[in-house]
Amino acid sequence: MAASGSGRGVPSRLFTRRQTLRVAGAAGVVASGAVLAACSTGGAASQAAPAVTPQVTVIPFQLWTPSVPTNKTTTQLIQQFTDSSFNSKQKGVRATWVGGGGMQTVATSLLAGASNFPWVVASCCGDWPIIQPFLAKLDPFFKTDNIDPTTTWQAGQLTRFQQPDGTYGLPEDAASDAYLYRQDILDGLGLAYPDPTWTSTDATNLWTACAGKISGGWRYGVGCPFGQGTTEGLPTVVAGFGGQFQSQDRTQCLLNSPKAIAAGEYWMNLVWNKIGTGGDGSPVPGIFNGTCVFTTGAEPTIIQAVEQLGEHTKWDFVPWPSFPAGPVGKLHDNFYGMVTAAPQQELAWELLKWAAIDPDWQRFYMQLALAPPAVASLLEEWYAIMRATAPVLQNKQLEYWGNATLQGVGVYDYEFFEYSPSQANNLVSSWWSQIWGQTVSVTAGFTQLAQQINALEAQAAVSAGALAQNIKAFPTNGPNLAPAVPGI
C-alpha cells in the first residue's frame, strides 16, 4: 500500500536516509515519518533548487527470532530480506527492522510518553493480558481484505489472542512441543526407544529406568515441562489429566479440582523422587551433557539440538505421551500484533499481514531460526525446508512438532488471570515454590492457591470497570494520557 508520508507522526526535523538509519540503529528504534535526502549540487545559492527524493514513510517493526543472536549479521539479513520481499513492493514505504524486548517493553515506553515505537511487534512468553489493551483490533482488516482467520489458522491457535469483541493478535508459530531424547543413552542402558503411541505409564517406567547415579553426579529421566520458578507448561499437564488451570473467562482458578491435583501429584512425584528435573521452556543443559535423557522445549530446542548434538550423537524427537485424559501438546503464545498508537494503521496492517499470513517472511524465518511457521498449512513445507537447511534433521521425526496443533489437542503454556494478573501470578509462584520444596502438599497448595486467587479476582473485578473504560479510550487519548495498567 502506498503512503504519502504526510500523515500524523511526521517529524519536523528532516534527516537524510543515512542519518536516520544511523540514529535508529544506535537508539534501537526508528521514528515514523518522512525521510528526505537532498541531492548535493555543489553550486551557489543562485543555482536551481536541488532535486529531492520522494518522501518515504519509515515503518519500524519488531519480529522475534528465537535463538538467533541480534547481531549485525542477523540484522543485515533480516533487513535485506525485508527490502526485497516487502519494501520493493511498496511505493514510498520502507519497513525497518529493529531489535527490542517485545510488546511489554513497548507498552511501558508508550505509558512513559514515547513517540518512537514499532508499529508492528512480535512478542512472547505470557505477557498477553497485560499488553493486549495496546494492540489494535484486527477484525476490520480481515473483513476489508476478505480474510477468514478460521481457515488460515487452527481454531486453537487463535483463542489466546481473542477478546469477546474481536481478535487482537495472530499466532507467530504453529508448533507444539515434542520431546527431544538421547537414543545413545537408551542404547547404553539396553532400553527400547519410546513408541509414538506411548502412554504416561510407559513414560514413567522409561524415565524411572533412566534415572540414577552416574559418574560425577545424577542423571534424570526427564526435564519437566515446567520449572521451580515458573509454572509454564502447568496448564498443559493439568489438561492431560482432564483438569483445567482456570475458567474460560479467566476469573476462577480451578487447580483445586481432583483432576488438577492428580496431575500435580503425578509430576511432582517425579521431581521429588529425582526422576524429573525442572525445565524452563527450553532444553535443560543436561540433555546435552548427558545428565538428562528426555526434555521438552520451545522452538530453540531444534536449533540447539542441531548445534550441540549434531551428527555425533544419536537422538530424535517423540510426541508427548498420552495422559489419562488423552493426548496433549504445549502450544506457544508467541504472537504478531499491531500497536494501536501507530500513526497509519493501514500501513501497519500491510506489514503485519506480510509477516503473519504471506508465506515469504515465514519461509525465510524457517531457514533463519529453524522455527515453525505461523500458518499451519505451511507445516509440510517447514519439514522440507528444515531438512534441507540442516542435513542432520533428514531422519528426525519433525512431524511430532506440528501434530498437536493440527489435531487440535494443544494447550497454551501460560495462563494469566483477567484481573490483577501480576498479583495472581505472584501467588501462583509462591505456592508453587512451596510445593516444589515439599513444605506443603500438592492438595493443600493447590487448594489454598485457588481460594486466594479467586478472592483476589472477585475483589479486583469490583473496580475493573472504570479501568477498562480508560484503557478503551487509549487510542484517542494518546500515549501520554494512557492509564497505568497493573503489572506494567
Ramachandran angles phi, psi of 253, nearest 5°: -85, 130
226 domain-assigned: no
Residue of 200 and 486 predicted with greater confidence: 200
252 domain-assigned: no
377 domain-assigned: yes
> Alpha-carbon distance 309 to 285, whole Å?
12
Q: Across residues 198-204, what is the average pLDDT? A: 96
Closest Cα to residue 481, out of 468, 469, 470, 465?
470
140-147: long-range pairs with CB below 8 Å, 24+: 141/349, 141/353, 142/167, 145/353, 147/353, 147/357
Alpha helices, DSSP H, located in 319-441: 345-356, 359-369, 379-389, 403-406, 421-436
Residue of 474 and 63 predicted with greater confidence: 63
Residue 21 has pLDDT above 50, yes or no: no
Three cell numbers at 233?
A: 507448561
Calculate the alpha carbon distances from 312 to 19, 185, 219, 393, 467 in Å: 48, 13, 20, 13, 57
Helix crossing, 258-272 with 200-210: angle to 10°? 20
46 domain-assigned: yes
The answer to whether 281 and 233 are in contact (CB under 8 A) is yes
Q: Across residues 279-299, what is the average pLDDT? A: 80
343 domain-assigned: yes
> Alpha-carbon distance 168 to 321, whole Å?
33
Which domain range does residue 101 map to?
A: 17-174+333-389
105 domain-assigned: yes
> At 160, is the pLDDT very low, low, confident or very high (cuts 50, 70, 90)?
confident
21 domain-assigned: yes
Count of other CB atoms within 10 angstroms of residue 463: 10
What confidence tens digit (pLDDT) does each residue in 416-438 have? 888 888 888 889 999 999 999 99
What confidence tens digit (pLDDT) does each residue in 238-286 have? 999 999 999 988 899 999 999 999 999 999 999 999 999 987 555 678 8
Angle at the Cα of 177 from the Cα atoms of 277 and 368, rounded to 5 degrees: 115
> Alpha-carbon distance 317 to 321, whole Å?
12
- Under 8 Å CB-to-CB from 444, ≥6 apart: which residues? none
Counting the structural domains of the chain, the total is 1
> At 459, is the pLDDT very low, low, confident or very high (cuts 50, 70, 90)?
confident
Residue 14 has pLDDT above 80, yes or no: no
The H helix count followed by the E strand count for the chain is: 21, 15
353 domain-assigned: yes
pLDDT computed for residue 26 by the predictor: 30
- CA count, 13 A, side-chain hemisphere, 41: 10
The answer to whether 246 and 254 are in contact (CB under 8 A) is yes
pLDDT computed for residue 15 by the predictor: 24
- Beta-sheet pairing, 315-318 with 276-277: unpaired
> Alpha-carbon distance 102 to 28, whole Å?
12
What confidence tens digit (pLDDT) does each residue in 329-352 have? 888 778 899 999 999 999 999 999
pLDDT computed for residue 325 by the predictor: 95
- What CATH number does residue 86 fall under? 3.40.190.10
Residue 440 has pLDDT above 90, yes or no: yes
